[in-house]
Chain A
């Protein structure tokens, strides 16, 4: 196996030494490009008190291409699909090598606090969010209780 690029080593060290509040990212021992991630649902969102598991992978050409990331915990959110894939501009067209694992995870946490049903990935969820926001938020709360609380 080739050596891990310095950029990745540095990011990992910093994630360990100065963790972001409410977020953790730990690399697998046998694959240092593959991280187990936990994100706490932001307060005053339907995801409050939930702890969401995600997985993150840094492809060969990182940081020229963005990290790959998805939710492993079921979540009811208009920008996250049934397989946990996330629709977020910084993970796609707005990615820049100046961004980092840390900034991406913060963006995802912010997305939990500010769902955007006008740019949906899960169409059925987005539609419900637009038609009856209160009911959609209630479902998101229930799913959080059911799947994201140990």
Chain B
């Protein structure tokens, strides 16, 4: 077992990875407020997977990393409207109990892990043809 990277240094690593674009191509993320020393609030985007109702759409999300991140998962909320079984249709909040990487959270998971898993979730055979709200609409 190695050194346990504290929250802030872990978030700085994620920030640098996100800024350099070294992450997966179809997902990106960054700080919503570049002045926030606590680095709590982040924006994420997911490019809809091909061959699905999400193709060519760009979804934006808010991610909140609390004090106990990464021991506890962040909270994740879609800003762009999406019809997906793990997303609360009133608020856009991702239900942790319905997304394995949140439900079985591990300290090694990152914000990128979550975005990639959400994208995979969108592309599942049982989800990819779900009717979607008009493009460009947002949860309020």
Q: Which A residues fall within an 8 A CB radius of B?
A: 1-2, 28, 31, 33-34, 55, 57-60, 68, 70, 72, 74, 82-85
Taking a contact as CB atoms under 8 Å apart, the answer to whether A82 and B12 are in contact is: no
Query: Are the CB atoms of B6 and A60 closer together than 8 Å?
Result: no
Partner of B2, one of A60, A68, A70: A60
B3: CB under 8 A from chain A?
yes
Q: Across the interface, which residues of B come within 8 angstroms of A57, CB to CB?
A: 3, 5-6, 9
Chain B residues with CB under 8 Å of A74's CB are: 37
Q: A1-B1, A2-B1, A70-B12 are in contact. Are A82 and B6 (CB under 8 A)?
A: no
Could you list 24 examples of A-B contacts with CB < 8 Å? A1-B4, A2-B2, A28-B6, A31-B4, A33-B3, A55-B6, A55-B8, A57-B3, A57-B5, A57-B6, A58-B3, A59-B5, A60-B3, A68-B12, A70-B8, A70-B9, A72-B37, A74-B37, A82-B34, A82-B37, A83-B15, A83-B34, A83-B39, A84-B37
What is the size, in residues, of chain B's interface with A at 8 Å between Cβ atoms? 14
Per a CB cutoff under 8 Å, which of B2, B5, B6, B37 touches A83?
Answer: B37
Docked complex Cα distance between A72 and B37 (Å): 7
Q: Is B108 an interface residue (CB 8 A)?
A: no
Min CB gap B73→A, angstroms: 20
A33-B4, A83-B34 known; 12 other A-B pairs, CB under 8 Å? A1-B1, A57-B3, A57-B9, A58-B3, A60-B3, A70-B8, A70-B12, A72-B37, A82-B37, A83-B12, A83-B15, A83-B37
Cβ < 8 Å to A, chain B residues 1-40: 1-6, 8-9, 12, 15, 34-35, 37, 39
